[in-house]
Amino acid sequence: MLDAIQQFFNQTLANPGAGAERKLTLELATAALLCEVIRADYHTEEEELAAFKKMLSRRYQLDDDAVQELMDLAAREVEEAVDHYQFVTLIKDHYGYDDRVELVRLMWSLAYADGQLDPLEEHRIRRLADLLYVSHSDFIRTKLHVQSQSGG
Protein backbone atom coordinates (compact mmCIF):
# COMPACT_ATOMS: atom_id res chain seq x y z
CA MET A 1 0.00 0.00 0.00
CA LEU A 2 2.84 2.39 0.83
CA ASP A 3 4.32 1.82 -2.64
CA ALA A 4 0.99 2.71 -4.24
CA ILE A 5 0.80 5.95 -2.26
CA GLN A 6 4.39 6.86 -3.08
CA GLN A 7 3.79 6.12 -6.75
CA PHE A 8 0.72 8.35 -6.66
CA PHE A 9 2.75 11.17 -5.09
CA ASN A 10 5.57 10.74 -7.58
CA GLN A 11 3.20 10.83 -10.54
CA THR A 12 1.38 13.85 -9.19
CA LEU A 13 4.54 15.80 -8.42
CA ALA A 14 6.27 14.81 -11.66
CA ASN A 15 3.28 15.74 -13.80
CA PRO A 16 1.19 18.39 -12.08
CA GLY A 17 -0.84 18.98 -15.26
CA ALA A 18 -2.26 15.45 -15.11
CA GLY A 19 -4.89 16.36 -12.50
CA ALA A 20 -7.83 15.44 -14.71
CA GLU A 21 -6.24 12.14 -15.72
CA ARG A 22 -5.02 10.96 -12.33
CA LYS A 23 -6.80 8.09 -10.68
CA LEU A 24 -8.41 8.73 -7.35
CA THR A 25 -6.79 6.41 -4.83
CA LEU A 26 -8.52 4.79 -1.90
CA GLU A 27 -6.20 6.60 0.50
CA LEU A 28 -7.01 9.94 -1.07
CA ALA A 29 -10.75 9.20 -1.01
CA THR A 30 -10.55 8.35 2.69
CA ALA A 31 -8.55 11.48 3.44
CA ALA A 32 -11.02 13.56 1.42
CA LEU A 33 -14.00 12.32 3.47
CA LEU A 34 -12.11 13.03 6.69
CA CYS A 35 -11.28 16.47 5.33
CA GLU A 36 -15.01 17.03 4.77
CA VAL A 37 -15.61 16.58 8.49
CA ILE A 38 -12.93 19.14 9.34
CA ARG A 39 -14.46 21.66 6.93
CA ALA A 40 -18.07 21.03 8.00
CA ASP A 41 -18.25 23.81 10.59
CA TYR A 42 -16.33 26.34 8.44
CA HIS A 43 -13.65 26.64 11.14
CA THR A 44 -10.47 24.62 10.93
CA GLU A 45 -8.87 24.30 14.33
CA GLU A 46 -5.23 23.37 14.90
CA GLU A 47 -6.34 20.42 17.07
CA GLU A 48 -8.35 19.04 14.15
CA LEU A 49 -5.45 19.36 11.72
CA ALA A 50 -3.07 17.72 14.20
CA ALA A 51 -5.53 14.84 14.76
CA PHE A 52 -6.01 14.48 10.99
CA LYS A 53 -2.27 14.33 10.42
CA LYS A 54 -1.82 11.78 13.20
CA MET A 55 -4.66 9.61 11.82
CA LEU A 56 -3.21 9.53 8.32
CA SER A 57 0.29 8.88 9.60
CA ARG A 58 -0.87 5.91 11.69
CA ARG A 59 -3.32 4.50 9.17
CA TYR A 60 -0.98 4.58 6.18
CA GLN A 61 2.44 4.47 7.90
CA LEU A 62 3.63 7.67 6.18
CA ASP A 63 6.31 10.16 7.13
CA ASP A 64 5.43 13.79 7.84
CA ASP A 65 6.08 15.02 4.29
CA ALA A 66 3.93 12.32 2.71
CA VAL A 67 1.13 12.93 5.22
CA GLN A 68 1.20 16.66 4.52
CA GLU A 69 1.06 15.98 0.79
CA LEU A 70 -1.90 13.63 1.27
CA MET A 71 -3.67 16.25 3.40
CA ASP A 72 -3.07 18.91 0.74
CA LEU A 73 -4.26 16.62 -2.05
CA ALA A 74 -7.38 15.70 -0.07
CA ALA A 75 -8.19 19.35 0.58
CA ARG A 76 -7.77 20.11 -3.13
CA GLU A 77 -9.96 17.16 -4.14
CA VAL A 78 -12.69 18.28 -1.75
CA GLU A 79 -12.52 21.85 -3.06
CA GLU A 80 -12.87 20.66 -6.66
CA ALA A 81 -15.46 17.93 -6.08
CA VAL A 82 -19.08 18.62 -6.93
CA ASP A 83 -20.27 15.99 -4.45
CA HIS A 84 -19.03 13.05 -2.37
CA TYR A 85 -20.03 10.39 -4.91
CA GLN A 86 -16.56 9.63 -6.25
CA PHE A 87 -15.08 9.29 -2.76
CA VAL A 88 -17.95 7.29 -1.28
CA THR A 89 -18.18 4.94 -4.25
CA LEU A 90 -14.49 4.09 -4.15
CA ILE A 91 -14.66 3.39 -0.42
CA LYS A 92 -17.84 1.30 -0.67
CA ASP A 93 -16.29 -0.73 -3.49
CA HIS A 94 -13.05 -1.46 -1.64
CA TYR A 95 -13.80 -1.35 2.09
CA GLY A 96 -15.75 -3.98 3.97
CA TYR A 97 -18.44 -2.98 6.43
CA ASP A 98 -16.11 -3.01 9.47
CA ASP A 99 -13.65 -0.74 7.67
CA ARG A 100 -16.45 1.71 6.83
CA VAL A 101 -17.55 1.71 10.49
CA GLU A 102 -13.94 2.41 11.46
CA LEU A 103 -13.91 5.33 9.01
CA VAL A 104 -17.01 6.74 10.71
CA ARG A 105 -15.24 6.35 14.07
CA LEU A 106 -12.31 8.35 12.67
CA MET A 107 -14.75 11.04 11.54
CA TRP A 108 -16.11 11.29 15.07
CA SER A 109 -12.57 11.52 16.43
CA LEU A 110 -11.89 14.48 14.16
CA ALA A 111 -15.16 16.14 15.13
CA TYR A 112 -14.26 15.87 18.82
CA ALA A 113 -10.57 16.81 18.33
CA ASP A 114 -11.19 20.44 19.25
CA GLY A 115 -13.09 19.47 22.40
CA GLN A 116 -16.58 20.17 21.10
CA LEU A 117 -19.01 18.73 18.60
CA ASP A 118 -20.48 21.24 16.22
CA PRO A 119 -23.99 20.38 14.88
CA LEU A 120 -22.66 20.90 11.34
CA GLU A 121 -19.97 18.29 11.92
CA GLU A 122 -22.53 15.85 13.28
CA HIS A 123 -24.77 16.45 10.28
CA ARG A 124 -21.89 15.87 7.86
CA ILE A 125 -20.88 12.63 9.58
CA ARG A 126 -24.49 11.43 9.59
CA ARG A 127 -24.78 12.13 5.87
CA LEU A 128 -21.48 10.42 5.04
CA ALA A 129 -22.32 7.41 7.23
CA ASP A 130 -25.62 7.03 5.36
CA LEU A 131 -23.85 7.23 2.01
CA LEU A 132 -21.35 4.61 3.20
CA TYR A 133 -24.24 2.33 4.26
CA VAL A 134 -23.20 2.33 7.91
CA SER A 135 -26.18 1.46 10.09
CA HIS A 136 -27.63 4.05 12.41
CA SER A 137 -26.83 1.88 15.43
CA ASP A 138 -23.13 1.74 14.43
CA PHE A 139 -23.20 5.47 13.72
CA ILE A 140 -24.44 6.09 17.28
CA ARG A 141 -22.20 3.43 18.86
CA THR A 142 -19.05 4.97 17.32
CA LYS A 143 -20.17 8.45 18.38
CA LEU A 144 -20.70 7.38 21.98
CA HIS A 145 -17.40 5.51 22.04
CA VAL A 146 -15.41 8.52 20.82
CA GLN A 147 -17.41 10.86 23.03
CA SER A 148 -16.59 8.80 26.14
CA GLN A 149 -12.90 8.69 25.21
CA SER A 150 -12.74 12.43 24.64
CA GLY A 151 -14.48 13.18 27.91
CA GLY A 152 -17.33 14.95 26.10
For residue 15, the model assigns a pLDDT of 45
Domain extent for 118:
25-150
pLDDT < 50: residue spans in the chain: 1-6, 9, 12-23
Residue 132: give its domain's CATH number. Answer: 1.10.3680.10
In a domain, 119, yes or no: yes
In a domain, 12, yes or no: no
Query: How many beta carbons lie within 10 A of that of residue 49, not counting itself?
Result: 15
For residue 11, the model assigns a pLDDT of 52
In a domain, 38, yes or no: yes
In a domain, 20, yes or no: no
**Considering just the CA atoms, what is the radius of gyration of the chain in Å?**
15
Termini Cα distance of the chain: 35
Q: Is 134 helix (H, G, I), strand (E, B) or coil?
A: coil
Domain count along the chain: 1
In a domain, 13, yes or no: no
Is the full-model pTM beyond 0.85?
Answer: no
For residue 24, the model assigns a pLDDT of 59
Kindly give the interhelix angle for 26-39 and 46-60, rounded to the nearest 10 degrees: 160
